[in-house]
Structure formats: C-alpha cells, structure tokens
Structure 1
C-alpha cells in the first residue's frame, strides 16, 4: 500500500463533522462535570467549534484553525496563567475519550493509540503552558499528528 493511500487521522475519524459532534457533546459533558465546569464557566458558544478545527488541523485536516485563529501560538495563549493541574488534565482526557466512545468514534487500536497519544501530549503541554511565567513562541508550528508518529513535534 502506498503512503498516499493511507488516510489521515482526520479522514479516519470522519472529518470536521465528526469532530464537531465530539466537541459539542464533550463540552456539554464538561458543563455538567463538578471538577471541570468551573474551569470552563466563561466558555463562549464558539469554543467547541474552535477546538474541533484545532483537532482537525492537528490530525491532518484543513488549516482552518491556523488561518482563522492564529495556529498553535493562539492555542497556547488560551492556556496562559490558567494554573491547570494534573487532576484537571486527567479528568479532561478521560471525559474526552469517554465522549469518543459514547459517540461511537473509531475504536480500532491504531486510531485510538494515535488519538490518545495526541490527547496525552497536548493536554500535558496545556498544563505546562498554564503555569506562571510562560511566554508564547509566536513562531511555534502547529503540531501534526499521524499514525504512530509525530510529524512536526512542538519544540517549546
């Protein structure tokens, strides 16, 4: 099989429609979660769609998030001085992956391994970037996640 015939993670998950369903349902669940709700109490109505676009770009889809919102530097800015903890991170990860299960998203081991790999990596980076004194690298590249490998790891 040629590399060109291998779908991206974005294609495998079902594209932006699937990611929008995931983030919409996930953030409904976040609002009802005692631990996470206070962190997201000021979330605007567009937040789920922005996160879907970010995930879509990371997983090999269109560059919508970078074009419309400023790419990875913008995402980092959203976490500055939020003082996130490992407890919050674990709850966020568990709820997101549980939502993927609830919605019947692909559960083959290869896809889930790649998804979990990115979610673990990205959520740990969010915790790091939420601590006092962090600054934004305005040239930070958008992470690109593939099947079992990082194509452009963030060097922050």
Structure 2
C-alpha cells in the first residue's frame, strides 16, 4: 500500500486543534492595543469561522463553505475598507504564531513552513483588499487550497 501524504488539516490536528488555536489567538487580539480596534465588532463565533476557513483551505471538510455558508468572496468582503497596514499585519502573524506554540500545534519545519507561507500570502492579500471598497472577486471564486508546497510533505524521522 502506498503511503498517503496527510493534508495540512490532518497534520495540524483537524478541526478541534484549529478551533482551539483561533480561540487562543482571538483572546490575544482582544487584549492587543493595535489589533483590538479592527476586531472589536466581530461576531461571537468569528474565531470558529476562521478555524473552519483555515481548515478548508488546508484540505479539511467544507465546514466554512457548507456549514458556515461562507466563501472566498465573503472572506474577502470582511476585509474591505478596514485599511489594514504592515504593522497590523505583522502583529496579526506574530500573535497567531505565538498561539500556535501555546496550543502545541504541529511544530515540524515542513508544517510550519507551509503555515507561515499561507499566513504571509493571505495576510498580504488582506492588506491589499482592505484598501478597496468593492470586492475584486466575483462570487464564484473558488476557495484557495494550500498544501505542502516545495517540501513535498512532512519530515518524518526514521
């Protein structure tokens, strides 16, 4: 039988791990002077929706698209007009990576490389779109899919 390379979602620990991560992360955001003003009006289940979005992007079930009735178009729409900047983007990434360590999310180099690659890509798109007043996507835009990239999969010591 051929070895199957796990998805990033599976490697991260699935929905439970991602929901724990986003809960810890948004608890930090609410205590952060720079990010709090951006997120102060978010819904009570925002962290869960973000976990579902990341999970789906990382190859998990369509909890965001089907369960939360979300889409890539809708995620982009949440950033419109927020006027995000580089200091906020960097703080967002720093707090999220700090939260990854706190919840003991997979910390092997291949997974973290894929995770950081996605966070860099997604957060830079968020900054660009935050300066727009109209969504640059149409509603049929597919969800992004993120994988292991150039690493070819996780490093598993023999």
- Please report the TM-score for the alignment, with normalisation by the length of structure 1: 0.90
Shift, 1:19, TM fit = 0.2
Q: 2:20 aligned with 1:7, yes or no?
A: no
Distance 2:23 2:129 in 1: 24
Distance 1:56 1:132 in 2: 26
Gaps of 5+ in 2: 151-158
Which residue in the other structure is 1:93 paired with?
93
Shift, 1:140, TM fit = 1.5
1:77-116 superposed matches below 5 A: 77-116=77-116
Which residue in the other structure is 1:23 paired with?
22
1:45-124 superposed matches below 5 A: 45-67=44-66, 68-124=68-124
Q: Count residues in correspondence.
A: 148
The root-mean-square deviation of aligned C-alpha atoms, in Å, is 1.4
Distance 2:49 2:38 in 1: 17
Which residue in the other structure is 1:154 paired with?
none
- Please report the TM-score for the alignment, with normalisation by the length of structure 2: 0.89
Gaps of 5+ in 1: 150-156
Structure 1 stretches of at least 4 aligned residues deviating more than 4 Å after TM superposition? none
Higher RCO (C-alpha under 8 Å, 6+ residues apart): 2
Distance 1:58 1:109 in 2: 19
